[in-house]
Structures are given as structure tokens and as C-alpha cells.
Chains A and B, each alone.
Chain A
């Protein structure tokens, strides 16, 4: 495993044990790495039809950071949890930047280049979802995590189940409840 991956593994593990400084540092590293891959020429591998595919991006970051090293199950789970949060941040950055651009305000080159909007990533929807997800986290932190993993990191039900340590069935049901709650919260029909 490259030294960077080794350090990150330690940070991820410490973060999961409640060390918030380590958790923040792990988040920043994963976030920066995801942005770098999305913006670079390699990011092309993560995009089809000019659209960013978070699944490909997250998996690419994982492969590069840990380069096939055998990792403890728990560390992999922590990585995907953090990567989903980082993808959420990237999606918000991108949504804000594209709204600012639409408004014709002072256009700045943002570090989210390469993250092209696609279906399901209307900037207004994303910002509203971010708020709604924070509200959901107050009611059910687990459901909010499931939505992050599924929607922002594109993980399958089975992968999500692996990350949170629950059965596929539980993830299916919690996802469905979260989806309904978010739909209601965001205004029926428009969500």
C-alpha cells in the first residue's frame, strides 16, 4: 500500500473510534483526492457522456489510495462512508458554482471542474437535498448515511449493507422510508 494509503487507513480507523481531528483530516484527504481525479485527465475514465459517475470516481480513488493492498473490512467501510460524504460536498460545491454562473455573478474557476451535471443533479435539487438530508439525519442518522452512500457514492444496496454492517433487506427498507420521507419533505411531485 502506498504511504498515503497507509496514513489514511490510520486516520480512518482513528476517526471511526471517535477522534474527530483524525476524521476531519481523513475527510479532507479523500475530498481532495476525489476532486483531483475528477478534474484530471484520468477523470475521463469516471465520465461517460460528459457526466461524472460517482461510483467510478469513488472506486478509482479507492484503488489508487490503497492499490490492491489487503485492508481490514472495517477500514474499507470507513473509506466508503467518508468518500460518500466527500462526494456530497463535491456535489454541493458544483451546484453552488453552477448557480453562481447562471446568475452571471463573477465567474470563478472552481475546483470542481470535470464534475459535469447530469440527470439527478439539478443544482437546486442538490442544495435542497443537502438541507433535507441534514434534517433527516436528526431523525435517523442511519437513513441519512444510507442516502449518502446510495445517492452520492452510487453504491448498490448490497455494498451499502456491507459498509453500514446491516442486512440487504434492512438497507432496502430504510432506503425506501428515507426516499419517501425526503420526497414528502421536499414537496411531493417536485422531488
Chain B
């Protein structure tokens, strides 16, 4: 499959997964505009969308990250303390290294 066809198929897939049944079929039909190869590519993605996949759990059986990693390096000053980074978080809130 060409890169262009795959990217188009993925776009159509993204556009139609919100709708079901006849509405979805009509949307796919419209988007593919008679391009059978594109249509097959979209149908294959849609057919494989349901059910379990081992990708549903990250490698090693871990959980998805939910740490605010992307934010915590910004040093924030509170009074005389510079908040350097998050140490851990739990039920009562988050603990930061100051």
C-alpha cells in the first residue's frame, strides 16, 4: 500500500469511527468516492478496530504513565522555596522537592 493511500484511509477511519451502522457505511462510501483499494484499506482498519490487542497494556504489563512528567521541570517559586520537581503523588496530593 502506498503511504498516501494509507494516510487517507487512516483519516477516513478517524472520521467515521464516531458513527455506526448505515451512517458509517454511507460516510465511508462518500469518502472513498469509488476508489476500491482505498475502500478495502478503510474496511480492514474498521474490522480490526474492535476486540482486544496486546497493545492495550504497555510493554511489561505496566500501566500507562500518569505522572505530570512534562510539567514538573518548570521551577516554580512559592515564597522562599523553589519547587524543583515532583517526588510522588498519592491520595492526599503531590509531594514536591523544594
Chain A positions within 8 Å of B, measured between CB atoms, are 49, 51-56, 59, 62-63, 66, 68-71, 76, 87, 91, 115-122, 125-126, 129, 138-140, 143, 147, 150-156, 158-159, 162, 173-174, 176-177, 179-184, 188-189, 191
Contact = CB atoms under 8 A, between A and B. Distances in A.
B55 A162 contact: no
Contacts, number: 148
Contact of B1 (A120, A125, A139, A154): A139
A159 B69 contact: yes
A73 to B, nearest CB: 8
A184 B59 contact: no
Contacts of A87: 59
Dominant secondary structure at the A interface: helix
B10 to A, nearest CB: 4
Given A122-B54, A139-B6, A54 B97 contact: no
Chain B interface residue bracket vs A: 35 or more
Contacts of B7: 139-140
A97 to B, nearest CB: 15
A119 B63 CA distance: 11
B78 interface: no
